[in-house]
Amino acid sequence: MSLPYAHPLFQRISGGEWHPGGAAASERLWLACAAALDSTGDGAQRDRPLRVLDAGCGPGGTVRMLAARGELAVGLDRTPHAAWRTEAALARHGVASEAASGRALFGVADICRIPLPDAWADAVLCQCVASLLPAPEAFFAEAARLLRPGGVLGFSDLMRRGGAAMAAARCGCGEACGCGGEAVSVCPAGCAAGARSREAWEGLMRGAGLRLLAFHDESRELARLAASLVWYGDAASLRDLGLCGRPGGERPGYGVWLAVREVKD
């Protein structure tokens, strides 16, 4: 599967962010997480910067936003990115220490095997990444392990609408995506191939021991992104997102969830 986010035109259209809604969506997600943390009544974490992991951070825009807000922000991705500051490499700082307020740290790691200790994080963010994983349940298990009791997961991703499976239709890509124009439920070249229904995503979170706090349908952000890709002629990214056009078939949506690791008595 090729990743649309690596395409230069996609990056120009999305403002350098690698998910629908861009930086504004990331900020909204964080503000919702921060409000959820405040609502737990545990004010102790405010005696220090909040420790936040951005799982699948891409070039690191969300990590830098969190650091600018005074939090200790760690970004992990499977490959290094030129936008990361070399002086903020994990190897030089050690993320488990009580670092100074406003520090942004980056590292290369598998987000299904996060190199951080149990209960390290006040919050974990994951934006439009889990649908790319072969076993997303492993990520949710890691997120639950990493969160302290009362810690919050802020999660967003592509979702299948209208039930657990999309209706099959002839893919509009034809030969370009490798399906030969056959009847498929989701374009096999795209990120949407890993999308799940709202119920399925929530089942994975519950299965990891997380309690759901909130859900919001942000499909309009995906629609805006798709419209921009069409307008600027970025057919490759449109295809890779699974939005290439299947006459009569359903389009994926985009959901945002908050979940909490329960505080046990």
What is the per-residue pLDDT for 10?
Answer: 56
pLDDT digits (tens, 9 = 90+) for 37-84: 998 765 445 678 999 999 999 888 899 999 999 999 999 999 887 777
93's CB contacts (< 8 A; 6+ apart) are 99, 103, 105
Q: State yes or no: pLDDT of 99 exceeds 80.
A: no
Rounded Cα distance between 180 and 155, Å, is 34
Rounded Cα distance between 34 and 89, Å, is 25
Rounded Cα distance between 169 and 184, Å, is 6
Rounded Cα distance between 60 and 50, Å, is 17
More confident of the two residues 189 and 14: 14
What is the per-residue pLDDT for 41?
Answer: 60
Rounded Cα distance between 155 and 192, Å, is 16
pLDDT digits (tens, 9 = 90+) for 11-47: 555 555 556 767 888 999 999 999 999 987 654 456 7
What are the structural domains, with CATH classification, of the chain?
16-164+192-227+250-261 (3.40.50.150)
Closest Cα partner for 85 from 66, 68, 63?
A: 63
pLDDT category of residue 196 using cuts at 50, 70 and 90: very high
pLDDT category of residue 102 using cuts at 50, 70 and 90: low
Q: Which residue has the tokens 């009791």?
A: 149
Rounded to an integer, the average pLDDT of 216-245 is 65
Q: State yes or no: pLDDT of 146 exceeds 90.
A: yes
Q: State yes or no: pLDDT of 259 exceeds 90.
A: yes
Question: What Rg, from alpha-carbon coordinates, does the chain have?
Answer: 18
pLDDT digits (tens, 9 = 90+) for 147-169: 999 999 999 999 988 654 443 33
Alpha-carbon dihedral 131, 76, 16, 3, rounded to 10 degrees: -40
For residue 119 the two structure tokens come to 């209960």
Alpha-carbon dihedral 207, 210, 213, 217, rounded to 10 degrees: -50
What is the per-residue pLDDT for 162?
Answer: 67
The size of the chain, in residues, is: 265
pLDDT digits (tens, 9 = 90+) for 172-185: 444 444 444 443 34
pLDDT category of residue 235 using cuts at 50, 70 and 90: low
What is the per-residue pLDDT for 189?
Answer: 45
pLDDT category of residue 247 using cuts at 50, 70 and 90: very low
What is the per-residue pLDDT for 166?
Answer: 40
Rounded Cα distance between 253 and 255, Å, is 7
Helix (H, G, I), strand (E, B) or coil at 83: coil
77's CB contacts (< 8 A; 6+ apart) are 56, 57, 58, 106, 108, 109
Q: State yes or no: pLDDT of 9 exceeds 80.
A: no
Rounded to an integer, the average pLDDT of 94-122 is 79
184's CB contacts (< 8 A; 6+ apart) are 168, 169, 170, 171, 246
Q: Which long-range contacts (CB under 8 A, 24 or more apart) does 181-190 make?
A: 184/246, 185/249, 186/160, 186/242, 186/252, 187/239, 187/242, 187/244, 187/246, 189/1, 189/2, 189/239, 189/240, 189/242, 189/244, 190/1, 190/239, 190/240, 190/241, 190/242, 190/243, 190/244
Strand pairing report for 147-160 and 210-217: unpaired
pLDDT category of residue 219 using cuts at 50, 70 and 90: confident
pLDDT category of residue 232 using cuts at 50, 70 and 90: low
Q: State yes or no: pLDDT of 87 exceeds 50.
A: no
Where on the phi/psi map is residue 264: left (φ > 0), alpha (ψ -120 to 50), or beta?
beta
Average pLDDT of every residue of the chain: 76
